Chain A
Amino acid sequence: MHDMSAHAVEHHAPPTTFIRKYVFSLDHKVIGKQYYGLALVAALCGMALSWMMRIHLGWTNAAIPGLQLLSKNGAPGGVMTPEYYLQLMTMHGTIMVFFVLTTAPFAAFGNFFLPIQVGAEDMPFPRFNMMSFWVTCVAFVVLMSSFILGDGPTLGGWTQYAPLNAVGSIAGPGQGLGVILWMTSIALFCIGQLLGSLNFITTTLDLRVKGMSLMRLPMTTWAWFITSCMGLTAFSVLMPACILVILDHVAGTSFFVSSNEVINDQLQPHSGGSTLLWQHLFWFFGHPEVYIAIVPGIGIVSHILITSMRKPMLSQRVLIYCMGALAVLSYMVYGHHMFVSGMNPFSALAFSFPTLVITIPATIVVLIWVFSLYGANLRINAASLFALGFISMFVSGGVSGFFLAQPSIDIMLHATYFVVGHFHMVMGVAAMFGIFAATYFWFPKMFGRMMNETLGRIHFWLSFVGTYCIFMPFHYLGMAGNIRRYSSFPDDYLQPLIPVHQWITVAALITGAAQLIFVYNLIHSRFWGKPAPDNPWEATSLEWSTATPPPWDNFGGKHPVVYHDPYQYGVKSSVGDYVMQASPEQVQTEHDEK
């Protein structure tokens, strides 16, 4: 238990100028909102790209109005060329994984709520925090600039496998400047996340107020803390790997290019590099990245469900241990992305076993969530619907992991749409549902206004049914042997599968359009929504103890004292069936964390 906030945090005066208040702000709440705004812009870009890809996959020769304005050569007359498809696909994956799935649930909500949930005034390093956002913002601009610079973005996919990523423009459009911009952007992104992770870890460990023991931290804080620990180790591997690729381009090194490579009849001026080295470095980051995207969602869903159920989870400790187990195991399983890569086939077995074992903590998490619903009084609203939808998606995407964890089955499913269906459901859609749940839940605290509940529910129904219509068929396509990363399906074998692609395209267009309802709701509610009370959900954690929206120093110059664990629901107190963490009122409870 600590009471260090008074001396460990750097006190900064309330901002007075516009620039300090809204642009280069040191306030973690403003930075959280900035991250959220960045993620929203990125998500809209990523979704627009997925629409274009889906139209092309359903109807290969269809002209997409206006696409020629983005690239005259890539889409003459609006019809996408095969290479431009790959370029858009690469950008879709990169934008979504880095700038949406990492940025929104971790950096945006974590920044806004982690310090408040531990009772701190701010992060210990506010300038680092400001830098982390602006470096991430620059990273996004650098990435997007590849649309207009050189011969467009890289076409190598979000995994950027070597040596395609290192041999330069001779390997295809975007493989010269496009790759350098991609690597620069991601290296910058890594710096931003490292700075953010440092702040999250130190805030959690050092700035907890009196009474806030580790086991009294809300599930979300635990999730962000564990994610930060993963981020610190994962991004610090990816960043130097990106720099090494840039050196292969500009400094004549050969980290990732082997000897005797011949492209366009020209022997490449490289020797001695290892193409598999990139895969090891990338996936050592890449697999923990899956959990960096999803663990905050696990925390958010637990936090929201508990509030909606009006009772704590069956065991908060077990959930925390499981998140920790997922984080540790995530570093031991990364080789399952490389079963057929040419690495030693014995290592496939070594990576397969922990991959299968990781299903145990994941199963425990799901069982705790589902069986905690037993005997609850579940309040249904847009936030809880998305949290429950998250569980359904997490299960659907999770069970397909049983297949991909096994090297023998991976022989048939590797690089097919089965993999695309798996990761979109378990990491993409589930994480997005976590972001939506968090938005509907915390919007009142962030902006002081309520979101429109009816629009929220319409958004949920269209998203829930729509995503199943899109991503379940991906699994079927993969089982039939439909390969991913193909811009069209010219061969006889795949022709019969085209109607399935057309179905997916229609579903994707409708589901994507439903997201515009969310954007409208967000913007409309921000300015014209009903004013929010301080604690609209009758919740218990510290963010609901302060004013709405919170003042610049979070608690108006006071330091709250914590008397209870974060989820005292189903009790009889003076305010209802719950007692706030910061309330000294003694109530009869089954247990209370010390």
Chain B
Amino acid sequence: MAKFFAVTIIVIAILSAIPIVRHTWEAPEDISTHGYLIDEQMSETMAEAGISFLAAQFILAIFIWMFSNRSRDAKIKNFPGGAKVLVIAAVLVVGVEVLALGVFGVKAWADQYLTPPSAGAMPIQVQAGQFAFYFRYPGPDGTFGPLHPELINESTQNYLGLDLDHDQDSKDDIVTAEMAIPVNKEIHLLMHAKDVGHSFFVRELRVQQDFVPGLDVSLHFTATKIGKYEIVCTQLCGLGHYNMKAYLYVYSQQDFDNWLKKEQAMQ
């Protein structure tokens, strides 16, 4: 029984590692300028966690195999190094691992969260509400008009609460249900929620950020590959949460300009 258990642990450990080694299931291709930092950090962590996982399971299995159900007179002995060696090993090995992961990980985080967007970044506003995203482009004047939550009215398609009669800055604003951006152009995403908590997650862009009611949050990123990608809500927001999504279109600059003109004409 004990030997069978030891073999089972080893078989499970190996089977668990195979999909990781073979990359059977993994994140989609990165299309951002910063994503490689996150992917590298993930790979390094996987290597360290994987080795720790396999080593611990194997040693557990080997000791179960060697030291189970021995005869009643079998001599009991202790691991020669005692606890002191194990504590020192854990502090040094895991401590170094932790320090390395912590220090290197800061770079990926800082690139997205601790550095401001460049001055030329293109601002886009996104509003999350049960259960849709709406995007706003500032129009030719480059300025967003103010928001008036009390004016929000889905039936008149005033999704953001704009006062087109009184606010000059709002008049040329373009509101869309889909997000389009030019390739290789930094985007400064200004996020707010109109009702409850939501989130903005684009797997390929390596961005995920919650919307916080009452708080303006922002993100900045640059997409490097033309294509259509899913934007999904990852913060439980109510009954339609599973279906709250929009699409991100990454266009060439020319195609983006055409798209924006078309959207403006439809406002």
Contact = CB atoms under 8 A, between A and B. Distances in A.
Interface of A: 81-83, 86, 155-157, 161-164, 167, 171-173, 175, 257-263, 265, 267, 273-276, 309-311, 314-315, 318, 340-342, 345-346, 348-349, 352-353, 356-357, 359-360, 363-364, 366-368, 370-380, 385, 388, 391-392, 395-396, 399-400, 402-403, 405-409, 411-412, 414-416, 457, 464-465, 468, 472, 476-477, 479-481, 483, 485-493, 497, 500, 569-570, 577
Given A273-B214, A395-B57, A359 B94 contact: yes
A573 B89 CA distance: 36
Given A157-B236, A364-B87, A370-B60, A490 B16 contact: no
B39 to A, nearest CB: 9
Interface stretch (B46-54, B132-140, B174-182): B46-54
Query: 8 smallest A-B Cβ distances: which pairs?
Result: A258-B214, A408-B108, A83-B239, A315-B83, A375-B77, A345-B113, A415-B234, A373-B63
B96 to A, nearest CB: 11
A267 B27 contact: no
A378 B69 contact: yes
B28 A481 contact: yes
B1 A380 contact: yes
B238 interface: yes
B123 interface: no
Contact of A171 (B12, B130, B212): B130
Interface stretch (B2-10, B162-170, B248-256, B259-267): B2-10
B243 A82 contact: yes
A304 to B, nearest CB: 14
Interface residues on B, range: 35 or more
A276 B211 CA distance: 11
Interface in B43-72: 45-46, 48-50, 52-53, 56-57, 59-60, 63-64, 66-70, 72
Given A360-B91, A360-B94, A477-B25, A415 B149 contact: no
A388 B64 contact: yes
Given A163-B197, A402-B48, 5 more contacts: A262-B194, A276-B212, A352-B102, A376-B76, A407-B105
A406 B102 contact: yes
B45 A391 contact: no
Given A261-B194, A360-B91, A476-B24, A161 B236 contact: yes
A592 to B, nearest CB: 16
Interface core residue of A83, A259, A340, A405 (most chain B CB under 10 Å): A340
A360 B41 contact: no
A310 B197 CA distance: 54
B49 A408 contact: no
B2 A380 contact: yes
B203 A493 contact: yes
19 contacts: A81-B239, A161-B235, A164-B238, A167-B196, A262-B194, A276-B212, A276-B215, A314-B79, A315-B83, A345-B109, A370-B60, A370-B63, A374-B66, A395-B57, A396-B53, A402-B52, A408-B38, A409-B41, A493-B203
Interface in B176-224: 194-197, 199, 201, 203, 206-215, 217
Contacts of A395: 52-53, 56-57, 60
Interface of B: 1-2, 5, 8-9, 12, 16, 19-20, 24-28, 37-38, 41-42, 45-46, 48-50, 52-53, 56-57, 59-60, 63-64, 66-70, 72, 74-79, 82-83, 86-87, 89-91, 94-95, 97-98, 101-102, 105-109, 112-114, 129-130, 149-150, 152-155, 161, 194-197, 199, 201, 203, 206-215, 217, 230, 232, 234-243, 245
A346 B95 CA distance: 22
Nearest to B108: A408
B197 A161 contact: yes
A164 B19 contact: no
Given A156-B236, A367-B86, A86 B241 contact: yes
Contacts of A352: 102, 105
A392 B210 CA distance: 34
A485 B236 contact: yes
A262 B152 contact: yes
Contacts of A480: 25-27
B38 A385 contact: no
B56 A366 contact: yes
Nearest to B6: A388
A275 B19 CA distance: 39
A578 to B, nearest CB: 11
A377 B76 contact: yes
A359 B50 CA distance: 15
Given A378-B69, A412-B27, A415-B235, A396 B194 contact: no
A19 to B, nearest CB: 44
Contacts of A400: 49
A314 B83 contact: yes
B241 A411 contact: no
Interface core residue of B9, B25, B77 (most chain A CB under 10 Å): B25
A378 B2 contact: yes
B41 A406 contact: yes
Given A164-B238, A259-B214, A407-B109, A376 B67 contact: yes
Interface core residue of A311, A371, A372, A395 (most chain B CB under 10 Å): A371
A262 B210 CA distance: 18
Nearest to B195: A263
B154 A265 contact: yes
B177 to A, nearest CB: 16
